[in-house]
A and B are shown apart, each in its own frame.
Chain A
Amino acid sequence: MLRASEVTKAYGTDPVFDGLSIDVDAGEVVAVIGPSGVGKTTLLGLLALSEEPDEGTVTLDGTNVWDADETKRLSLRRRVGMVFQEASLFDASVGRNVEYGLRVRRPWSDRLRNGVASLLGANSTTDAVRESLDVVGLADALDQHAGSLSGGEAQRVSFARALAYRPDVLLLDEPTSDLDPRNTAVIESAIDAARDRGIGVVVATHDMHQARRVADRVAVLLDHGITEMAPTEVVFEDPSDERTRQFINGELVY
């Protein structure tokens, strides 16, 4: 569904990717693993349709993203959701945070009307918001202020925020590296729930155990490209690429 083909990207004279290809389908979880600093975040930026590759193509359902005009590109970009390593919640209630993605996708006449209504005290929360908070187990935190949440709770809200507007693709950048085991488990089960809804999930992680737990397929990011992309067990038990094998076994020194 979402595919990057033969992508090359460099920052100034520093090459990041050279002929990289990766894809994710609806209803599957792809884990991207690799050493730190290799470019996982940049790759997610490419997949989020916000960074343009120097060469190569990025397509969503066959539509070439960077050939399209701005309006079309915005609507394509809006089919992708992202969760960062830091929750980065807005200074507002949990409900307002989760609702954000839904809000910006409404037409302006609706937004103005809702804005005036809420100023005058009307308080309406859509089902989508409640539902997404349910997935991460925070349905009763709806009216709590984002600043009063713990780190783990905030990250879970951040997940719900990206889920609420039903994206086709969900990208997660090291979503649990700052979390304790309990919150990590909640996030991982939320990833499952997202997959079950037909969302294509890409998780960038340095935690290979997590990759084994959640992913259907694993992409190994090494040497400016994807050295291996295969079902999870294949990558971990019997990778075909030598460098991949060295990385999995912890033999690579950077």
Chain B
Amino acid sequence: MTFDLIVQFGLALFELPFREGYVSSIIYVSLYVSLAAVALSTLFSIPVALVVGLTDFPGKQFVKSVINTGMGFPSVVVGLIVLFAVSNQGPLGSLELIFTKQAMIMSQFVLATPPITAISLAAVTGVDESVRDAARALGGTRFDVALVVVKEARYGIATAVLAGFGRAISEVGSVLIVGGNITGADGISKTRTLTTAIQLEARQGQYETAMVLGAVLVALVLTVNAVVVRFGDRGVQR
């Protein structure tokens, strides 16, 4: 992989004691877990945002405050809850998810959903009611109108997804607890992410190495943001 070569070259500059494939494998795990969690969360959050934003139902205020509370919910607590759930003793124990990427995706799903839902909700309610009326009057079913609303709110929703991604990829505590920060004996990561690798280096007092990994993480987040924003800008230039 040329990416591996670039990373190796960069690391050689810093003379870091990493084995071949280590850094790209932890980048891969970080991206895989976060992107999967954000994708699943988006599939869940957008319909929820549409229902809460466009319809009336008893308990709507309660649902909104749950979403907002979720935004500030301490992530390490989410990790503990997922741990209890997937541990051998827990209700999902038979699925043997402890110390796997799947458990990490679960906990990041729980963390990413509140920001994605809340910001999408704001975007959805920000769509002019007259546009909704027009979509309906022109013969749209409720589903058609929902699609129109999503398209109208797409920039807000993109912001929401980016916010969720940011929260997911920066997560340390919960993915450490449920994932176990595991690499194979060959140095290839199984459940180690950039963030938990940073934590490991810091724990060992290797602060410089931790900083380099931190820079890689920041570069990754900036790249993803740039890609999404660029795609959105192209849409505007139409």
Query: Which residues of A line the B interface, CB within 8 A?
Result: 48, 50, 74, 77-78, 81-82, 84, 86, 88-93, 100-101, 104-105, 145, 158, 161-162, 165
Q: A50-B137, A104-B139 are in contact. Are A91 and B130 (CB under 8 A)?
A: no
Tell me the minimal C-beta distance from B146 to chain A in angstroms: 12
Q: In the complex, which of the residues B134, B139, B152 contacts A78, with contact meaning CB atoms closer than 8 Å?
A: B139
Contacts A84-B134, A88-B128, A100-B148 known; 7 new A-B pairs at CB < 8 A: A48-B137, A81-B137, A82-B138, A90-B134, A90-B148, A104-B140, A105-B139
Whether the pair B138, A162 counts as a contact (CB closer than 8 A) is: yes
Q: Is B233 an interface residue (CB 8 A)?
A: no
- The closest CB in chain A to the CB of B143 belongs to A104
Interface hits, B142-168 → A, CB 8 Å: 144, 148, 151-152
Q: Is B85 an interface residue (CB 8 A)?
A: no
Q: How many B residues, CB 8 Å from partner?
A: 17
For the complex, give the distance between the alpha carbons of A183 and B151 in Å. 29
Whether the pair A88, B139 counts as a contact (CB closer than 8 A) is: no
For the complex, give the distance between the alpha carbons of A77 and B144 in Å. 14
Whether the pair B151, A77 counts as a contact (CB closer than 8 A) is: no
Whether the pair B141, A93 counts as a contact (CB closer than 8 A) is: no
Q: A84-B130, A86-B130, A104-B144 are in contact. Are A92 and B151 (CB under 8 A)?
A: yes
How many contacting A-B pairs (Cβ < 8 A)?
51
Interface digits, B105-142 against A, CB 8 Å rule (1 contact, 0 not)?
00000000000000000000000101101111111110
Q: In the complex, which of the residues A90, A104, A161 contacts B152, with contact meaning CB atoms closer than 8 Å?
A: A90
Whether the pair B151, A90 counts as a contact (CB closer than 8 A) is: yes
- The closest CB in chain B to the CB of A144 belongs to B238
Tell me the minimal C-beta distance from B141 to chain A in angstroms: 7
For the complex, give the distance between the alpha carbons of A244 and B134 in Å. 32
Q: A50-B136, A93-B238, A100-B135 are in contact. Are A88 and B130 (CB under 8 A)?
A: yes
For the complex, give the distance between the alpha carbons of A105 and B131 in Å. 18
For the complex, give the distance between the alpha carbons of A161 and B140 in Å. 13
Complex contacts, B131 vs chain A, CB 8 Å? 88, 90
For the complex, give the distance between the alpha carbons of A100 and B147 in Å. 11
